[in-house]
Structures are given as structure tokens and as C-alpha cells.
Amino acid sequence: MSQLRIPGPTPLPPQVLQSMSKQMINHRGSEYHTMLRSITENLKTLYQTQNDLFVLTGSGTGGLEAAVVNMLSPGDAVLGVSIGVFGDRIAAIARAFGAKVVPLNFEMGKAADPEAVRKALKANPDIKAVMITHNETSTGITNDLEALSKVVREFDKLLIADCVSSLGSLKCPVDEWGLDVAISGSQKGWMAPPGLAFVSVSKKGWEFYKNAKMARFYWDFGSAKKYLEKDENPWTPAVTSIYALSAGLDILMKEGLPNIVARHARVGKACREGIKSLGLKQVADEKYASNTVTAVWLPQGIEYKAISKGMRDEKDITITGGQGALDGKIFRIGHLGWVDEKDIKECIDTLRIVLSKLGFKK
Amino acid sequence: MSQLRIPGPTPLPPQVLQSMSKQMINHRGSEYHTMLRSITENLKTLYQTQNDLFVLTGSGTGGLEAAVVNMLSPGDAVLGVSIGVFGDRIAAIARAFGAKVVPLNFEMGKAADPEAVRKALKANPDIKAVMITHNETSTGITNDLEALSKVVREFDKLLIADCVSSLGSLKCPVDEWGLDVAISGSQKGWMAPPGLAFVSVSKKGWEFYKNAKMARFYWDFGSAKKYLEKDENPWTPAVTSIYALSAGLDILMKEGLPNIVARHARVGKACREGIKSLGLKQVADEKYASNTVTAVWLPQGIEYKAISKGMRDEKDITITGGQGALDGKIFRIGHLGWVDEKDIKECIDTLRIVLSKLGFKK
């Protein structure tokens, strides 16, 4: 069987695939109301939050844009903590809408240092909000969001957390950690196809919303809240993706959050140990290595394309390459969503064959 | 069989439903590239355009927002021609992003008058762009976009055309009529589920883009163009909806544009004649009555909810009510996408039974 081992879209379980062949329904009718209510409740359970939570029709990047434009005003100073492509992306969004982004960039493969965040907040008292990526897909790093959020709360700043590739896979208790806006995307841990973004908004988030002057219409949280009161979305939602999300959440709720997190911990560990056993080196500092995606340095003299073609030819396994500055230097294996240890074992076994055919010696 | 007779989402043909149970693929891989290339070509054929055309992940309203923010700068004067809810909506979007909207509103049920547009453009020489709804879903009116666009071209203004519920169903030759930005949505005539918006951009549109200062990131046409050069989207697209759109377009391309337009003309006429035969009155001026949706005044003493429940109970047919000022005053029947005359006959026959049970006498 073919295997998609990229960090999203992720493979879908048969129940989810089947759910999408259901005929369209009215998105302003009672059947949809029931479905959206249940989806919202399940997402809140898995987010571990009592905050408002909205399902938006758009990519994860749309969710990031929604978070920015609903919280900030042009001219606002924000701390943009970045450890890779996705930290850079939310900073670029904030800049595009007129925020003054104070960048706090860390070396590729390293996690964000809470002490550095503390220093930056001390040095820039005008900063209103902090943007942090929980799990950086481009390098395979999971930031210590618990420690980082403590620092942000010390200074009583708003915390916008990009949890696109962590929520629903990794430990991320939104309320306990005080994440004011937490964004995720359907194609990551949620066993659903791409096309839906999720955002939770805390009480403090709503206070920011009241004063936020960035231009917005489609992503407006006020409209989302008003319509959610009648279990609807302001604009016509991606109904098929809603079917799929509903089916994916049913599976996740049955498994239960502790089991989901433990499964990702097992597959993450299996992937990293496998990589090591092949004589390859991961990009991430082991202490912060992500349980949803592993980035691996290309062995000397072997190109990404050769490995990726080999994996496809050998077992129809799809891996992915590096983004931005890491393009041509690394490959990445996704292990989130509908995945277990035997999938990772197959991936590593195939990689062993492919590397050997390419002349790689440990 | 249940029937969804609302103006989107529209029922999906079996081939389209089946297409969505296909496993996820890499949105940066060759299979996706081939699919997006073919979709884009087919959409351009049905748009009758040589302009650039992008598929965006979002609702139709997202497509409207995309058109506005890529073309205009805050402070720009734009003429917002409105004959109902959707004309008001694009005006609200432009206002939200800082445009100076000069409203040109027409009475509910009437089409926009080209002479009035001419007068407004004469009276307001600072107007840079004109926004017009081709087919107004809230009242069941199709504007004479050909005549309106001629006026806009006389004054050499940019024309942003909301063709969400017309393109792919009604005659709308984008290049011939000089529509600079033409927006549509997957859940309308395209035999696909909601969640994708389409936008075409003319040469003149790109000139406006260069100077457009409204804040944007997710919807940026420049990013869309750059990625489309490699048959990709900037952000993770709704892959399942792309499968469906591809299958829907295959059906439409086989039918051919003249047949599609003729079929909608037949079902539109059948619906209006049916309504008349029941002794009911349509909202639209017959000369501009839409072939994709018919809005009908509620008969005196009969509530929308009674008719809508009756239709559901009798034959599992879903109709919809009025929006905005027409809420509680009308009901609407959608007839676009996967629809033929027998569907409309069944709808009218059921309406006859329901009305009779509710005590309505012609």
C-alpha cells in the first residue's frame, strides 16, 4: 500500500474516506447544525479548552492570518519568535498587515529559548503580543511551549500560538498553558483532509479583538461567533471536509487524548531511532525533537531527489524535502495523524534498502 | 431520493462523490501538478478566458475578498453596484479594507440599470473600479453584465465581477465582456462541494495589482501566480475538493458550455413557468429572471417554515428562505449545477401538494 509520509496532508482512515462520498446537505439546516456542534465540542475537548473555538474554511496559513488580523492593529509591536519557515511565515503575515514585528530568530534545528524571550520582552516594553510556533515542521522541532508561555504570562502579553502541527498529536493543553489564540489545521493530526483551520480565542483574546484595527472580513472572529451561536458558519463551509473532520474526530475521541499523544511519542521515537540506526543524523536537537515530523540531513553525495524517487519506486512511499534555506540539504518524514509504529518501521526499512542501492555506507 | 434545491451547496453527481474517497496525495508532487494544470485549463475554457486563473482554498466570500484586496488601496473610490445581499457583501468587504465605496443600489427584484452606472461614473470621476454582481442569488436576478461592462469600459475603469453563481451555468464570456476579475465558487454550477473559490485576473487587473496597497497575504495573487508556474498553490490546498472539482469539470467539459447554458435556461424557464402555474409570483423582473435560482413571494398567510417543512416531509426536498430584508417574505429554489428538468418538475409537483395541504388556493 502506498504511504504518504509527509507532514500533511496525512493519510486518511477508510471511515474518513467513506464519509466524504455522502451527498451534500444544506449548511443552514438542522443536520449540519448537529454536526458542527459536535465537531466544535470534540475539538474543544482535544484542545483542552473552554475558550471559543471556530472552524474556518481555509488552509492552516489562513488560520494564522485570521489570528493576526483579529488580534492586532497596524503599528502594534509584536514579538515574532521563529525557529524556521513557519515562525517566519506568521511574522510575514503580521508585517503584511502593518504590525511592527520584533524578530527573535533561533538557529535552525534549535528550539526557542525562554530566557531569550524574557530578555526581548524586557528590552521592548511596547510589545503587545508574542507569536510562537509550537511545532516547527520545517526542522522537526517542538518548542517548550509550556515554559515559553509562562514567560509570556509573566509579562501579561497576548500569546498567539501556531499549533498547526501539534494540536491533536502532541501534548498541548490550551487553557493550562494560557494560549490566547491557538491555531491548527485539519490535514495534520486530525485524520482529515486539508481545507479547514481551527482557532481558539481566550477571554484576553476577545479583549484584544475589541481594539484590533487590522482590516478583516472573511476571517472575522466576531462574525464566526455570531453564526456559531446558531451552529453555523458565516460563509458557506467546505461541507465535505466537515464530514471528514467529523469522522476523524470520532476516531480520535475513541482513542482518547492520552493514547493519541502516547502513540505519537512512540512513532516519533521509532523514527528517530530508525534514522540513527541507518547512520543518519537528524536536524533537531534531540531534547526538542518533534514527535510529528523528523528532519534528516542528507548523507554526503546523495541528493534528495534520489532518495525520494527510490522510496517511491521501492514501496510507493512519499517523503518530502527541505523548505527555504534547508532545500536540498535535508529530507523529512511525517508521522502524525493516522500512523502507527509499523508504518514507521516500513518507512525506515525501505530507506535502508534505498540508501544501500544509492551506495551509502554507514 | 432527497433533493437539495438551494443555490449552493448543490447536489453532486455519483462520479464526483466517488472521487472524494480517494486517498490523500502530496500537494507538491507530480500527480497533483497534473490535476491542477488540467483543472485550471478546464476552468479557463468554461470562463472563456485567456487571463490568469487561480483556484483558492476558501468560500466564495473569500474569493470576493481576494478580488478586493488584490486590486485596491485604502482610500480608493469604487462604485458598488448592488441589487441585493451579495452586492452589499462585496461593498462591505471593500469598506472593511478601507475603500471609499460609492453605493449604487437598486430596488429588490430589479436589475442594475446601465444608464444609472453611466451617470454615477460621470458624477464621480475619481472612481477607479466598479464592483458588480452578475447573478444575485438573494433575489434571483441576472444582471445584464454585457451592457454594464460596456459602460465600465467606456470610462476605462476596472471591473470586478462577482460571478459566483453565474459562471459555469449562465452565459458569461469573461474576455469578450472584459471582466477584469471574475470570481466563482465550487459549490455553484461546478458540480463540486463548497470550499474552493476561483478568480481570473486580466492584464489590466495585474496593473491594478502592482499599485494595490490593501493588506494581504493568504489571498495574494502574486503568490498564487508564482506557485501556479509550477502547478502548485502557495498554501496546502483542499486536496479532496480538488479531486471533486476535477471530476465535476470532466462532466461539464463533456457536456460542453453551450449545452450547459442551454440546460440552465431550460430548468430556469421550467421553474418560473411552474411557479406561475401554481399561482405564485416570482420576485424577479421576468426580463432579468435568473436561470440558476428563483425567488418566490410567500403566498399571504403561509409561512416559509410551513412550506419548507412540507417540502421536506413530502419528498425530502430542501428549499431555502430569504436573506436580509427578504427573510420571512420569500422562498428560493436553486437550479444550478447537477440539475435537469425532471428535478424541477418534481419540485414544482411537490410544491403543489404542499401548498394545497396548507390551504392555499390559486
Residue-wise pLDDT tens digits, B269-291: 999 999 999 999 999 999 999 99
Q: What is the mean pLDDT of residues A350-358?
A: 97
* Residue B56 domain flag: yes
* Residue B101 domain flag: yes
Lookup: cell for B8: 449552493
* Residue B216 domain flag: yes
Going by the DSSP 8-state scheme, the letter that residue B286 receives in this structure is G
Please tell me the distance from the alpha carbon of residue B221 to that of residue B212, in angstroms, as a whole number: 11
* Residue B323 domain flag: yes
Q: How confident is the model at residue B293 (pLDDT cuts 50, 70, 90)?
A: very high
Residues of A in contact with B21 (CB under 8 A): 17-18, 20-21
Length, in residues, of chain A:
362
Q: Identify the three-state secondary structure at position A135.
A: strand
pLDDT at site B58: 98
* Residue B362 domain flag: no
C-beta atoms of B26 and A10 within 8 A: no
Give the tens place of pLDDT for each residue, A117-176. 999 999 999 999 999 999 999 999 999 999 999 999 999 999 999 999 999 999 999 999
Does the pLDDT at position B189 exceed 90?
Answer: yes
Nearest CA in chain B to A10: B24
Please tell me the distance from the alpha carbon of residue B343 to that of residue A24, in angstroms, as a whole number: 16
C-beta atoms of A9 and B96 within 8 A: no
A217 and A73 together in one domain: yes
pLDDT at site A202: 98
A227 and A169 together in one domain: yes
Please tell me the distance from the alpha carbon of residue A336 to that of residue A339, in angstroms, as a whole number: 6
CB atoms within 10 A of CB A37: 12
Spatial neighbors of B158 by CB under 8 A, at least 6 apart, are B71, B128, B129, B130, B180, B181, B204, B205, B208
Contact B66, B205 (CB under 8 A): no
pLDDT at site B143: 98
B115 and B214 together in one domain: yes
C-beta atoms of A195 and B62 within 8 A: no
A173 and A281 together in one domain: no
* Nearest CB partner across the interface for B217, out of A57, A93, A238: A93
Give the tens place of pLDDT for each residue, A62-100. 999 999 999 999 999 999 999 999 999 999 999 999 999
A268 and A205 together in one domain: no
pTM: 0.98
End position of a domain, from candidates A219, A253, A287: A253
End position of a domain, from candidates B189, B221, B253: B253
C-beta atoms of A241 and B239 within 8 A: no
B147 and B249 together in one domain: yes
* Residue A362 domain flag: no
- The minimum CA-CA distance between A35 and chain B, rounded to whole Å, is 16
Strand partners for A158: A129
On average, the pLDDT of chain B sits at 97
Contact B182, B189 (CB under 8 A): no
Give the tens place of pLDDT for each residue, A165-204. 999 999 999 999 999 999 999 999 999 999 999 999 999 9
Q: How confident is the model at residue B362 (pLDDT cuts 50, 70, 90)?
A: confident
C-beta atoms of A185 and B236 within 8 A: yes
Q: What is the mean pLDDT of residues B239-266?
A: 98
Q: How confident is the model at residue A1 (pLDDT cuts 50, 70, 90)?
A: low
* Residue B231 domain flag: yes
Long-range contacts of residues A98-103, Cβ cutoff 8 Å, at least 24 apart:
A98/A73, A98/A74, A98/A214, A98/B215, A99/A68, A99/A72, A99/A74, A99/A75, A99/A214, A100/A75, A100/A76, A102/A77, A102/A78, A102/A127
A331 and A311 together in one domain: yes
Q: Is B195 exposed, middle or buried (0-12, 13-18, 19+ CB in 10 A)?
A: buried
Q: Indicate which CATH number applies to the domain containing B202.
A: 3.40.640.10
pLDDT at site B315: 96
A50 and A184 together in one domain: yes
Q: What is the mean pLDDT of residues B324-338?
A: 96
Report the residue of A20, A219, A343 to disrupt the B interface, i.e. the one with the largest count of B CBs within 10 Å.
Answer: A20
Q: How confident is the model at residue B1 (pLDDT cuts 50, 70, 90)?
A: low
Closest alpha carbon to A228 in A27, A23, A89: A27
A235 and A268 together in one domain: no
End position of a domain, from candidates B253, B279, B297: B253
Domain count, chain B: 2
A175 and A283 together in one domain: no
Please tell me the distance from the alpha carbon of residue B29 to that of residue A320, in angstroms, as a whole number: 9
Give the tens place of pLDDT for each residue, A221-236. 999 999 999 999 999 9
Contact B140, B271 (CB under 8 A): no
E runs forming strands in A171-231: 181-185, 196-201
Residues of B in contact with A343 (CB under 8 A): none
pLDDT at site A2: 72
pLDDT at site A350: 98
Residues of B in contact with A69 (CB under 8 A): 215
pLDDT at site A309: 97
Going by the DSSP 8-state scheme, the letter that residue A24 receives in this structure is P
Residues of B in contact with A247 (CB under 8 A): none
Residue type, B230: K
* Residue A204 domain flag: yes
Contact A96, B217 (CB under 8 A): yes
Lookup: cell for A3: 504511504
Give the tens place of pLDDT for each residue, A17-63. 999 999 999 999 999 999 999 999 999 999 999 999 999 999 999 99
Q: Indicate which CATH number applies to the domain containing B337.
A: 3.90.1150.10
Higher pLDDT, B196 or A361: B196
Q: Identify the three-state secondary structure at position A142.
A: strand
B90 and B107 together in one domain: yes
Domain that holds residue B343: 3-7+257-357
* Nearest CB partner across the interface for B238, out of A96, A193, A234: A193
C-beta atoms of A185 and B61 within 8 A: no
Please tell me the distance from the alpha carbon of residue A296 to that of residue A316, in angstroms, as a whole number: 20
Residues of A in contact with B238 (CB under 8 A): 59, 193-195, 238, 241
On average, the pLDDT of chain A sits at 97
Spatial neighbors of A231 by CB under 8 A, at least 6 apart, are A32, A33, A34, A36, A37
Give the tens place of pLDDT for each residue, A245-298. 999 999 999 999 999 999 999 999 999 999 999 999 999 999 999 999 999 999
Nearest CA in chain B to A86: B235
φ and ψ at residue B317, rounded to 5 degrees = -100, 130
A194 and A278 together in one domain: no
